[in-house]
């Protein structure tokens, strides 16, 4: 697993259906762990590092998106404190996606 990339996303690249959160800096963290690497702690480390970066940049809210099929992604996020915000089918897709949100404690610390 040497294909880890971190990049800010702005403007038109943001997911279209996410609603704004008033008076908060929002970070979007989306990770994917291939099935053969799951349940070995990789996702936890990657997510922990991403959340630390979001906090360091002043985020008070972190949002993520995961495919509903199979449920691994949404379950992973919920176990880490995220709450489901919405389920939807993006235009042109056949699969349902889940949007989740986490209120970050210690933002800006």
Q: What is the mean pLDDT of residues 55-60?
A: 84
pLDDT at 71 over 70: yes
User: What is the residue-averaged pLDDT of the chain?
Assistant: 78
In a domain, 18, yes or no: no
Q: Return the number of other C-beta atoms located less than 10 Å from residue 77's C-beta.
A: 25
- For 30, list phi and psi in degrees, rounded to 5: -130, 120
In a domain, 49, yes or no: yes
In a domain, 5, yes or no: no
pLDDT at 30 over 90: no
pLDDT reported for residue 85: 93
The CATH number assigned to the domain holding 33 equals 3.40.630.30
Confidence of residue 28 (pLDDT cuts 50, 70, 90): confident
Domain interval for residue 65: 23-103
Q: What is the mean pLDDT of residues 72-89?
A: 92
């Amino acid at each position: 697993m040497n294909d880890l990339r971190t990049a800010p996303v702005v403007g038109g690249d943001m997911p279209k259906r996410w609603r704004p959160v008033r008076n908060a800096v929002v970070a979007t963290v989306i990770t994917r762990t291939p099935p053969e690497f799951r349940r070995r702690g990789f996702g936890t480390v990657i997510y922990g590092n991403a959340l630390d970066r979001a906090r360091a940049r002043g985020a008070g809210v972190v949002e993520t998106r995961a495919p509903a099929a199979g449920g691994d992604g949404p379950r992973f996020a919920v176990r880490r404190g995220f709450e489901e915000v919405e389920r939807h089918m993006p235009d042109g897709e056949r699969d349902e996606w889940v949007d989740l949100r986490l209120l970050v404690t210690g933002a800006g610390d």
